[in-house]
Amino acid sequence: MAIDIVIMAAGKGTRMKSRLPKVLHKLAGRALLTHVLDTAATLNADRTIVITGHGADEVERAIDGRGTIAVRQEPQLGTGHAIQQVVPKLDDEGTTLILNGDVPLIGAATTRALADACGGTKLALLTIELPDATGYGRIVRAGGQRDGAVLGIVEHKDATPAQREIREIYTGIMAAPTMQLKRWVMALTNDNVQREYYLTDIVAMAAREGIEVVGIAAPDETEVLGVNSPVQLADLERRYQRRQAEALMEAGVRLADPARFDVRGTVQAGQDVEIDVGCVFEGRVLLGDGVRIGAHCVIRDAEIAAGAVIHPFTHIEGAAVGAGALIGPYARLRPGAQLGEEVHIGNFVEVKNSTLARGAKANHLAYLGDATVGERVNYGAGSITANYDGANKHRTVIGNDVHVGSNCVLVAPVTIGEGGTVGGGSTVSKDTAPGQLTLARARQVSIAGWTRPVKAPKASKS
Q: Which residues are catalytic?
A: 364
Burial class (CB in 10 A: 0-12, 13-18, 19+), 204: middle
Supply φ then ψ for residue 35, to 5 degrees: -55, -45
Torsion, CA 65, CA 69, CA 73, CA 74, rounded to 10: 60
Q: Is the bond into 258 cis (omega within 30 degrees of 0)?
A: no
Burial class (CB in 10 A: 0-12, 13-18, 19+), 455: exposed
